[in-house]
Structures are given as structure tokens and as C-alpha cells.
Structure 1
């Protein structure tokens, strides 16, 4: 077995990369939620001065990336690679932001798992000695995702109880081979899990089995359990998916306690804000992790965090053709 590999799917970094700078930008709805004070920029509206929501999403992704670089106290020319993704066709938000940033670019698509996937890949690149600085980023936008995957927002379609609200925002982080800050110590790469669910209005239910598989794999590979973490965080399972995850892992002898939370439920007040079952989207786990969680780690609230970001890998066309929804979850460990 490779020296840095643990079990089936986990990597333990010999020289853990360090998160030296972060940037977060969120939309107006997210800016009225319980975590509003943890974000760098709150948009006044969804357009943000642009003619289309797609252009707005590119703009906020680029802005989050620039904030992260500034916080890292390095020049843009020092960044070896830019790893980014989003939810749109051909990951255009990431591609157009890369055009403006002019940094060697890896475009990533893991749907809403992109935050953890980019952190895992950046960690491998840095720990492998291929880079000193890697910028990771991802974004989503309520208006762009809704009209690509569901319905035009002008139709004002009534939501199902399992429907989630796509987060408008972008999160970015600079990982470095040296410096001070939280460390990325482990990464567990998930495999695609598909239980045959086809309802695009129940992403939490579709993704929960993938989250359970990755979580159980991580525990088996590392010999750890839920009590070894101050916080276990899923990306965007929201209310229904979170409960399903608890049941799935309980069936395998693992009990998730009070240290388990979901980004999609943390970002909004689901009782007072009209967000359905909770938040979703690439930006969901990115802004909560890079904005809120890392600030709490600086305060000493958390010392050992396990992030499990989940993604649904369908397309509008595949759903129209009757395909089920394949899902994946990737996990990373961040330690103070």
C-alpha cells in the first residue's frame, strides 16, 4: 500500500497543507441568516450590477478568490494552481473566473461536493511537492441553478417540502506548504452511490447514502469514530437528508450525536426564511466552512473538524430521460 494511504480510500498527508487565507461572498438571503457576520461580503441583490445571474456568479467567484489571495498575504503570481468548480454547464463560472485571474487552472466538477474535492486534490498536490500555493474555490447562484436544473424563477413554482434553496455565494481558500493556520490532515475520496432515486426536488435524500458510505469508509480507514471530532459537517443534506444519514449510519452501528451538523441547516433560519428544507449548492459548504467554521477554529471552539461535502451528479437531460441520480461525497479533516 502507498505510504500515505490509509485503508481503501483515505490519504493521510505527511506534510499537512495549511489554510493561510480564505474569502467568502454571499447573497442577500444568506446575508440575513444566522451566520451573516462571518462572511466577507454580503451582496445587496442577486444581480450585483451584472446583466445576467451567470455573470453575477462569475463576479462573486472571482471576488472570493481575490480576497483569499489577499488574506494569504501573497501575490497572485505566487499561486501555482487554481482549482475551481460550480454547478453550471461546462463549469462556466469557474472557467470565466480563471480567465480573469490568469492562474494555471484545473476545472473541477463534483456538484456540491466540489469544496471538499478541491481541498483533497490541493492537499495531494502540495503534500506531493508539486506546489507551494494552491487556490481552491467554488460557487453557486440561486437564479442560475434554479433555471438550469428546475424551472425559470419567473414561474414561481410551489416548492415541495423536500426542496432546497440553492445558495448564492462563493468560497475560496489558499492552501500552502508552510505558514500558520488550520491544517488539512486527511482526505477520504468517495465513490459514486446511486440507490435509484429520481426526484430532483429531494437532493438530500439522494445524496445521504453517498455521505453515509464516505463517512463509514473514513471511520474504517482511520480507526476513528464520531467522538474523535469536535464537529462532523455535511455539505447540504438539509433537514430530510440529515435525518436519513443518521439512520443509515445507525444501521451500521455508528451514532451521530450533537457534534453533527449540516451546512444547509446552519446557513439559514429555516423557520423564518423561505428556503424549504435548507440550503444546497457548491457554495453551501464552502461559505460555511471558509467563513464560519474556520473562524470558530481560530476562537478555539473547534480543534478537529470532519467535512463531508456531498454532490448529485445528474444533469437536466439525464433526469428528463428518466435516469436516477448518482451521488458522491468527499471528506477532509481540518485540524487547528
Structure 2
């Protein structure tokens, strides 16, 4: 069976089952819109650790171990862990995974990493190379600010177009058998760079990549937007979400009826997140919490999750480079 569809997509012959998920968030996320869908809410952004980076590692390890425990298995049953974060050399991920003693693939797709890890995990299971995989991500507002922008102690004023990096971690267990929603198809994105250089404008930078991948998914699979109950992008925020809708209008397609961005679903308006949420954990905590439970309860049966990533670095910004962006998509159905 030819599993390739069109230029960038694939349909799985043996769709992996998402048999369990887990997530953990910081206090700001816990006070937001989706409070009831989080497994643990920390009291502060350090959680009794000596640094924000150690706290982020703790969150990822906790999410992985909790997802595995929910799956009624042990770490030794996991064939591979696929995970990543936002920091240089996947710092938080490597310190988290060293305690798990499992085969590991570190992934960097910026904020698209949750979908990227589930996409790659699905191909491994569909190809018969694994029976059980854990896909995981983490991000932390204070570690990201320290690396990409300014120390939080400086209290630098943020422009209104900027987004708030989510403090949290999420994990999903993908299995060859079991009950739960299945990952039925996937689309691998291309790098799209529209020349934007402002690292605060990540939503506008990533929106064209998101629109390109969604459009390619429809073209490759022959599906229309109405095939899905909902289409979710990762962390475009209010500005980026509006741009995706406009880009589809230019193609004669109304995406507004069943489209939402995870970055618009986490914080309340009075929390001063400006344009919304960002970070690896933005789509991660929304998917492993709210979306997963909606699928399990059959309140939604088919969704398209599009992870979006801004692939700049402190070095590329200092060298005045523009921001290359990426988006990957998975179709999840029950």
C-alpha cells in the first residue's frame, strides 16, 4: 500500500492509538480558561527547584512518567521517547530524559515540536518499528525570556503583538493497540519565510507557514475543511489566527467556522498575555487536556492539529536575519 499522499502528506495503514496523555502547567496557566483540563498546576514557576531550567526539566519528566502510568504500563514498555523544548541544545529535555533510561530522539521544531514528535512517532509505529512511543514537549516562560529576549527581572515592556510563552509540559503515549483516538494522517510542512524580522511578531511570521501546510493537507488528501469538526493551530495568537483566516479567504475558502488557535484558548483577557500564548507547551497542553478529552467523550470525532514553529535563534536575530517558520499537521480521529 502506498501511504504517501500528494507531495507532503501520508495516510497511515496502521494508525497509532493515543492511549493516554498528561500535562502540567504553571500558576498563570492554571488561572486561565482551561483549568479543569490540567493534571497538575504548580504553585509557582520554580516549584522548589534552584532554577527555572531545572523546573522545566522536572515538568517534562513528570508529564512523561504520568502519561506512562495512566497507560497502565511502565517505562520499560516504551520503545522510544521523542521530545524537545525551546532551549539551546534541548537543555531541559536532555536533563529530563537522562533519568528515564529509554531510547531517545531529541527533536527541535520550536513550537511545532509536539506535532512533529507525534508525526514521527506515528510513522515508527505504522512502519512496525515500535509498539509504544512517548511524545513530549516543554516550555517555560522564564527560561524562554532569558534566552530569547531579556531577563524577566528587568521588567521590559512587551509590545501588544507579542505572546506569552506557556509554562508547562505535555506528553502523549502512542500505541500500536488500545482504545482512544487514532492519528490517521499527517502532513510535513515546508519552511516559509516572509521576511519578518521582529521576534515579537511570531504570530504574523508563522501564519503563512500554517496556511501553507493546511492547504497542502487538503490538496494532498482531497479533504475539505468541513471534513474536520475543528482545525487547531499551535500558537499563532490572535493576530496570527486572523491572518490565517484572511489567507484562506484569498483562496476562496472560509476557514472561520471550524478553526481555532491553541494560543487563543489558554489565557483570559485580563491576564495581560497580549496576543495570546506561545511556546512548545501551547499546543501541547491544549491537545493533551481539552482536545483529547473532547475526543474521548466523542464531542469531537475528527480534528486537524497543526503545530507551528518560529525557527529563529538569538544568534540569527542578532545577525538581523529574518524568521524562517514551519508547520506540521496530524489528523486525529475517533
Q: TM-score, normalised by structure 1?
A: 0.98
1:17 to 2:16 alignment: yes
Query: Which digits, 9 at most, give the CA deviation of each residue in 1:254-280, with x for residues without a partner?
Result: 2112311110110111x2111110000
SS of 2:270 mapped into structure 1: coil
Structure 1 residues 14-59: Cα deviation after superposition (integer angstroms, max 9, x where no partner): 0000001111001100000110110100010000110100000000
1:221 shift after superposition: 0.4
Matched, 1:327 2:325: yes
1:103, 1:190 → 2: CA distance? 28
Gapped regions of structure 1 (runs ≥ 5):
none
Q: Deviations over 1:182-233 (max 9, x none)?
A: 1000010000000100000110000001001000000000111111110100
Matching residue of 1:262: 261
- Where does residue 308 of structure 1 map in the other structure? 306
How far is 1:109 from its partner? 0.1
Q: Matches of residues 98-177 of structure 1 in structure 2 within 5 Å? A: 98-177=97-176
Which residues in structure 2 correspond to 1:1-336 (within 5 Å)?
3-269=2-268, 271-336=269-334
Deviations 1:287-323 (CA, angstroms, capped at 9, x unpaired):
0001110111122211001001100111001101000
Consecutive aligned runs of 4 or more in structure 1 exceeding 4 Å deviation? none
| Secondary structure of residue in 2 paired with 1:16 | coil
Q: CA deviation at 1:136?
A: 0.5
Post-superposition offset of 1:118: 0.5
Q: 2: CA distance between counterparts of 1:193 and 1:253? A: 21
Note the alpha carbon deviations across 1:111-132, whole angstroms, 9 max, x for none.
Answer: 0000110010000000000000
Question: Distance in 2 between the 1:176 and 1:300 partners?
Answer: 20
**Which ranges of structure 2 fall in alignment gaps of 5 or more residues?**
none
For the residue of structure 1 that corresponds to 2:99, the secondary structure is helix
Tell me by how many angstroms 1:75 deviates: 1.3
Report the 3-state secondary structure (helix = DSSP H, G, I; strand = E; otherwise coil) of the residue aligned with 1:14: coil
The CA distance in 2 between the partners of 1:214 and 1:283, in whole Å, is: 20
Q: Distance in 1 between matches of 2:249 and 2:145?
A: 33
Distance 1:308 1:144 in 2: 24
CA distance in 2, matches of 1:160, 1:301: 37
The answer to whether the 8 A contact 2:245-2:256 is kept is no
How many residues are paired up? 334
Residue pair 2:162, 2:274 contacting (<8 A) in 1 also: yes
Distance 1:258 1:54 in 2: 39
**Pairwise CA RMSD of aligned residues?**
0.8
